[in-house]
């Protein structure tokens, strides 16, 4: 991510101390403190905005929202590697310095920090806290808490936090409510990354035990507190009646329920049946079969359950089968490409999913950032020039497409292509076995899944692979084991989705950077170590103009696609959500899609 800071003047000026130091020449002079910061251009909302356009500013407050979650949890700390955490702690309980504007690729507006100040080079950033901000126990949020949180997450947080926050050269408390970070140059996104840093209470955190899983109720500054916990089963958040930020413009129309409960389910069928029975209120549906046939029930027909299809402007959340290239069986790109050729999307989409999926073709599907069917322009070619061979010619000129079959399930054309690639990689058919000529070992691997729906798909893929005498075993594991093996890269192949935005940045190093390949807990699940990938990530972090930024992301997309690190699967063109009609949402959907924090409970007739 990148772009020039908009020097929009804020309602709060810089502190007297900070101004004096700037005048004295201690710090470089910068634009006035601002109420918002954007990666690309100026913030969309003016300084005096009263509410975001994707909320109902007059939404009624009250009632309870029950959401269902497929899985389990054993920790209330989502900021560490260990455990399976309740992710909702972020946002509901723990706040950041600034909050996203969800109608823009990457713009932050003041939350705990009422202003932000940086220079054009973004070599430093200063945050001025809102003096009214306090934690749920009444203790004020101070600059000391900000510096404490930075150090804690830099030294003990998740690998992405450690990588991001280690780029800070120095943190300095200018006064009780003002903190300045001096930054290592070359990363224009870092002020925004720091703006999204979760702020934790120094007085309530034991650094010595921070990295251990815990079910202790956390203290935060957010709109809710944890009220009730049933480990692995449910967690209830209740509105903090003394929430300091209820009147902020960024919060108007948000956090409308008095109580939010998350119920966890281990079985996908039970998860669906309990929704139909009215035991939870909204359901994000990702199964085309269920969306097509499973909702033919009285509650839908008579309007008690409403089905919504929300568009969004983000790169689509596409699924891929990920090769763990740390495994010798996947070290040869020809083997990976051959396996990819054997995924029969047309047959699977028609027979499993009613033809409702679209084929994934990019790491940034269905967005301007995708390189698919777009020839590389001159700037992309300049970025890629130091890495000859890193991008396939057909990917470079935009003519590459994933293989298409006739949909019969028996198309022999991709099978012949796959066998030819495997032969060139040193494999030969001997009877009913495909053996490595050098080692005599069969081509075999395991696909690890964590639910029955994924198991069904993996078994179909395994059947396709068996046509080439490739032995792919499917292993179903529980959520805890899955997370443990994922974090330590103890798998051959998994199904995974990298969530992408319209302003990708530092997280790309966490997803695909060489340094992350050996960092347990990172999301470089394929184990890619590529100087070309690293260079494209560095480029997208440095460029300033939107056009050059898009080119840099497309160049990264081309290098990743050329490496055959995944079997591209599919994505849904829209977000599908079913809800009980007592739950309502704003008329306008944000660029990011639907946002449950903007929803509310409709008051029934006769209620006050």
Q: What is the mean pLDDT of residues 301-313?
A: 95
Task: Look at residue 8 and tell me if it is in a domain.
Answer: no
Q: Which of 186, 209, 232 is the last residue of a domain?
A: 209
Spatial contact of 165 and 153, defined as CB atoms under 8 Å apart: yes
pLDDT of residue 504: 93
Percent of the chain past pLDDT 90, that is, above it, reads 82
User: For residue range 276-291, what is the model confidence (pLDDT) as tens digits?
Assistant: 999 999 999 988 989 9
Q: Which of 160, 177, 209 is the last residue of a domain?
A: 209
DSSP 184: -
Task: Look at residue 51 and tell me if it is in a domain.
Answer: no
Same domain, 461 and 561: yes
Task: Look at residue 6 and tell me if it is in a domain.
Answer: no
Same domain, 541 and 482: yes
Could you tell me the CATH number of the domain that includes residue 339?
3.10.105.10
pLDDT of residue 556: 98
Same domain, 360 and 384: yes
Going from the C-alpha of 159 to that of each of 91, 135, 152, 325, the distances in angstroms are 20, 26, 12, 20
Task: Look at residue 73 and tell me if it is in a domain.
Answer: no
Q: Is residue 186 over pLDDT 80? A: no
Query: Residue 571, SS3?
Result: strand
Q: Is residue 604 over pLDDT 80? A: no
Instruction: Please report the sign of the dihedral spanned by the C-alpha atoms of residue 369, residue 371, residue 373, residue 377.
Output: positive
Same domain, 437 and 513: yes
In the chain, how many domains are there?
A: 3
Domain with 354, as residue range(s), is 319-571
Q: What is the mean pLDDT of residues 234-257?
A: 98
Q: Is residue 406 over pLDDT 80? A: yes
Higher pLDDT, 279 or 14: 279
Task: Look at residue 437 and tell me if it is in a domain.
Answer: yes
Q: What is the mean pLDDT of residues 575-593?
A: 96
pLDDT of residue 22: 35
Same domain, 363 and 493: yes
Task: Look at residue 334 and tell me if it is in a domain.
Answer: yes
Q: What is the mean pLDDT of residues 83-111?
A: 96
Same domain, 121 and 259: no
pLDDT of residue 520: 87
Arithmetic mean of pLDDT over the chain = 91
Q: Is residue 319 over pLDDT 70? A: yes
Spatial contact of 542 and 190, defined as CB atoms under 8 Å apart: no
Same domain, 33 and 131: yes
Torsion of CA 521, 524, 526, 528, to 10 degrees: -130
Percent of the chain past pLDDT 70, that is, above it, reads 94
Q: How confident is the model at residue 318 (pLDDT cuts 50, 70, 90)?
A: confident
pLDDT of residue 5: 31
Same domain, 244 and 388: no
Q: What is the mean pLDDT of residues 487-506?
A: 92
As a whole number of Å, the CA-based R_g of the chain is: 25
Cα(185)–Cα(468) distance, integer angstroms:
51
User: For residue range 333-356, what is the model confidence (pLDDT) as tens digits?
Assistant: 999 999 999 999 999 999 999 999
Instruction: State if pTM tops 0.85.
Output: no
Same domain, 271 and 418: no
User: For residue range 351-405, what is the model confidence (pLDDT) as tens digits?
Assistant: 999 999 999 999 999 999 999 999 999 999 999 999 999 999 999 999 999 989 9
Q: Is residue 1 over pLDDT 90? A: no
User: For residue range 209-234, what is the model confidence (pLDDT) as tens digits?
Assistant: 999 999 999 999 999 999 999 999 99
Could you tell me the CATH number of the domain that includes residue 285?
3.40.190.10
Q: How confident is the model at residue 112 (pLDDT cuts 50, 70, 90)?
A: very high
Q: How confident is the model at residue 26 (pLDDT cuts 50, 70, 90)?
A: very low
Q: What is the mean pLDDT of residues 557-573?
A: 96
Q: How confident is the model at residue 4 (pLDDT cuts 50, 70, 90)?
A: very low
Q: What tokens does 601 get?
A: 């409970």
Higher pLDDT, 598 or 266: 598
Same domain, 246 and 363: no
pLDDT of residue 160: 85
Task: Look at residue 103 and tell me if it is in a domain.
Answer: yes
Same domain, 557 and 586: no
pLDDT of residue 537: 96
User: For residue range 53-80, what is the model confidence (pLDDT) as tens digits?
Assistant: 999 999 999 999 999 999 999 999 999 9
Q: What tokens does 251 get?
A: 């919060």
Q: DSSP per residue over 114-165, as a string? A: EEEEE-TT-SEEEEEE-TT-B-TTSPBP-HHHHHHHHHHHHHHS-HHHHHHH
Q: Which of 209, 241, 262 is the last residue of a domain?
A: 209
């Amino acid at each position: 991510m990148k772009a020039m800071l908009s020097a929009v003047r804020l309602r709060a000026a810089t502190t007297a101390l900070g101004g004096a130091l700037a005048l004295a020449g201690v710090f470089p002079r910068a634009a006035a403190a601002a109420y918002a910061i954007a990666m690309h251009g100026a913030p969309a909302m003016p300084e005096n905005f009263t509410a975001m356009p994707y909320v109902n500013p007059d939404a009624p407050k009250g009632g309870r929202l029950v959401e269902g979650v497929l899985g389990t949890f054993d920790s209330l700390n989502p900021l560490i590697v260990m455990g399976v955490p309740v992710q909702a702690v972020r946002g509901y309980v723990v706040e950041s310095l600034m909050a996203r504007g969800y109608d823009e690729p990457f713009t932050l507006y003041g939350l705990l920090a009422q202003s932000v100040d940086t220079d054009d080079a973004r070599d430093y950033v200063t945050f001025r806290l809102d003096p009214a901000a306090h934690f749920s126990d009444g203790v004020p949020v101070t600059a000391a808490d900000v510096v404490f949180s930075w150090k804690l997450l830099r030294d003990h947080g998740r690998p992405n936090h450690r990588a991001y926050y280690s780029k800070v050269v120095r943190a300095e408390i200018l006064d009780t409510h003002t903190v300045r970070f001096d930054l290592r140059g070359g990363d224009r996104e870092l002020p925004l990354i720091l703006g999204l840093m979760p702020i934790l209470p120094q007085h309530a955190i034991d650094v010595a035990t921070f990295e251990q899983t815990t079910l202790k109720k956390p203290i935060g500054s957010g709109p809710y507190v944890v009220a009730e916990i049933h480990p692995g089963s449910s967690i209830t958040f209740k509105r903090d009646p003394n929430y300091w930020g209820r009147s902020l413009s960024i919060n108007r129309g948000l956090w409308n329920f008095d109580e939010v409960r998350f119920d966890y389910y281990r079985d996908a069928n039970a998860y669906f049946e309990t929704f139909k029975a009215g035991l939870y209120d909204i359901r994000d549906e990702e199964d085309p079969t269920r969306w097509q046939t499973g909702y033919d029930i009285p509650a839908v027909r008579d309007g008690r359950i409403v089905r919504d299809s929300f568009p969004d402007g983000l790169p689509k959340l596409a699924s891929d089968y990920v090769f763990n290239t740390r495994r010798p069986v996947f070290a040869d790109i020809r083997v990976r490409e051959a396996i990819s050729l054997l995924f029969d999307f047309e047959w699977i989409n028609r027979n499993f999913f009613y033809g409702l999926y679209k084929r994934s073709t990019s790491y940034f599907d269905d967005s301007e950032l995708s390189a698919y069917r777009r020839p590389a322009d001159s700037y992309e070619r300049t970025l890629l020039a130091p890495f000859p061979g890193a991008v396939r010619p057909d990917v470079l000129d935009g003519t590459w497409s994933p293989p298409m079959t006739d949909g019969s399930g028996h198309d022999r054309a991709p099978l012949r292509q796959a066998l030819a690639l495997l032969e060139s990689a040193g494999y030969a058919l001997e009877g009913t076995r495909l053996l490595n000529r050098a080692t005599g070992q069969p081509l075999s691997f395991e696909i690890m899944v964590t639910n029955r729906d994924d198991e069904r798909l993996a078994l179909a893929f395994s059947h396709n692979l068996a046509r080439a005498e490739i032995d792919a075993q499917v292993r179903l594991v529980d959520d805890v084991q899955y997370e443990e093996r994922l974090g330590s890269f103890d798998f051959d192949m998994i199904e995974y989705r990298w969530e992408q935005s319209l302003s990708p940045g530092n997280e790309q190093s966490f997803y695909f950077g060489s340094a992350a390949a050996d960092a347990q807990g990172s999301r470089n699940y394929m184990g890619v170590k590529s100087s070309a990938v690293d260079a494209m990530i560095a480029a997208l972090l440095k460029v300033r103009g939107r056009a050059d930024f898009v080119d840099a992301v497309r160049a990264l997309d081309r290098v990743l696609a050329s490496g055959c690190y995944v079997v591209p699967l599919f994505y849904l063109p829209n977000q599908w959500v079913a809800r009980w009609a007592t739950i309502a949402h704003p008329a306008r959907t944000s660029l990011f899609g639907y946002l449950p924090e903007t929803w509310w409970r409709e008051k029934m007739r006769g209620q006050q």
